[in-house]
Amino acid sequence: MKVRNGRTVRDLRRENRTAVLQRLYFDGPLSRFSLGPVTGLSSGSVSNVVSELVAEGLVEDAGSVESAGGRPRTLLRVSARSGYMIGVDIGETRVRIELFDLALTELARVERPLETEGPRRVDRYDVGVVVTHLREGIAEVLDRAGIAAERLLGVGIGVPGIVARTAEDGAVVHGQTIGWDAVPLERLLRESRILPGTVPYYIDNGAKTLGQAEMWFGAGRGAQSAAVVLFGSGVGACVVGDDMRPGRAVEWGHLTVRVRGRRCRCGARGCLEAYAGAEALLQRWAEAGGQPLVGVDEETALTAMLAAAYPDPDASGAGPEPDATALAVLEETAEYLGAGFSDLINLFQPERILVGGWAGLQLGRRFLDSVTAHAASYALTYPAAHVRIDLGTLGPDAVTVGAAILPLADFFARGGRPEQPEPVEPDPAWRTALRERSVQ
């Protein structure tokens, strides 16, 4: 049966369920009486929807609250254990896999370093290696928490690169900086039989999943528009606005900040990433005569660089002299970042710019004020006066949280009804090759 605007009764029911679930999730616990005003639904519609959701186990009682002159009102909340999500961050130094309940409480975590070791010395971004990490890590977090795979709402995956979609392969990753040329990641995961065919995958750019997390639960909450930037080995960004919800990944790290400048990992010259990414920062310090730590991961090396440039004083207030070379490189980087931020300000005029990623959080704590000052000097006066630049508040796990939000947001959009994708038959030859690769 159709109603106005071409919507069916089923559409209206789904929209009503979505409205109730979202308000309980973000603002709950709430009473049935309170749900009416915040959802715009009649008391009868609220009662019907709540009865359905309680019967399905999606909503549960959360105590009661006194009412004015009447019986206490029962409070309701979304049941945290009515569904589970996995969030994955395919980063540039490690693969992080986390299992969450519906309240986004972490239940289990696995990390797999991306490194070149062993007799084959394979590239750390080898697709087979990454898929093996995912297969083993997903199985491990489910086993640790004692959760059956069939109870998953889906697996969200943040990747370093542009994500396109095709009817045949699903999500296809174009990660130029890591050597992924049209990698059919979704098809490879389905063919590897990591999970039952009924469990959906949601694959998107890692900066976008970071942006999703900060806008839902972090420093972006309440903002109508924001640019959320991700600093790790490389640089990326997600722009959120009224016409770009739930956000759009932009390859901000490959904006040219210096004509005929340093060679970037993407092959071009002068990209922001070639000056501001953690990998480039350490290289620039070494080229200037500095002595970065060797034989350690990038996070440890960057921490040492920052400690050299900004040594902590001792109890008396004195301390060692700053490493002049490291300090000069970082001060120059602050100006490059300020110029890059000014482009975001001029192009998108966001209310907020939020800095995240493991490198961004380390760098931002030291010189975010300097970056902000440079951004104001390069940007147009009016939009610069109406933007606030802050650190993200969700820490280095924000990408995995945002990745887990992808299946959660889709679950809510469907009114709390699970998706049922068609199973994909594996390619036996591919499975054999991957198995052989994983044991070498």
> Domain coordinates of the chain in residue numbers?
10-78, 84-209+397-414, 221-391
User: Hey, which CATH number is domain 84-209+397-414, 1.10.10.60, 3.40.640.10, 3.30.420.40, 3.20.20.70?
Assistant: 3.30.420.40
User: Residues 6 or more apart from 306 whose CB is under 8 A from it?
Assistant: 326, 330, 362, 363, 366
Q: What CATH fold (topology level) applies to the domain 221-391?
A: Nucleotidyltransferase; domain 5 (3.30.420)
In the chain (440 residues long), the average pLDDT of successive 10-residue segments reads: 67 92 92 91 93 94 76 89 96 91 95 65 75 94 95 95 94 92 94 90 94 92 93 92 74 93 94 94 95 89 94 74 94 96 96 94 92 97 96 92 94 83 44 40
* pLDDT score, position 4: 59
Which pLDDT score is estimated for 431? 39
Q: Which amino acid would we find at residue 272?
A: L
How far lies 150's CA from each of 57, 406, 419, in Å?
16, 18, 12
Buried b (16+ CB within 10 A) or exposed e, 345-361: beebbbbbbbbbbbbbb
Cis peptide upstream of residue 29 (ω within 30 degrees of 0) = yes
Task: Say what the pLDDT of residue 424 is.
Answer: 43
| CB distance 108 to 98 below 8 Å | yes
Are 98 and 106 in contact, with CB atoms under 8 Å apart? yes
Using a 10 angstrom Cβ sphere, with 0-12 exposed, 13-18 middle and 19 or more buried, the burial of residue 429 is: exposed
CB 92 within 8 A of CB 278: no
Q: How far are the Cα atoms of 291, 295, 302, 305, 310 from residue 299, in angstroms, in the given order?
A: 15, 12, 5, 10, 16
**Yes or no: domain 10-78 corresponds to CATH 3.40.50.20:** no
Whether the domain at 84-209+397-414 and the domain at 221-391 fall into the same CATH topology: yes
* Cα–Cα dist 101/98, whole Å: 10
Taking alpha carbons only, the member of 252, 297, 292 closest to residue 275 is 252
How far apart CA 84 and CA 104 sit, in angstroms, is 9
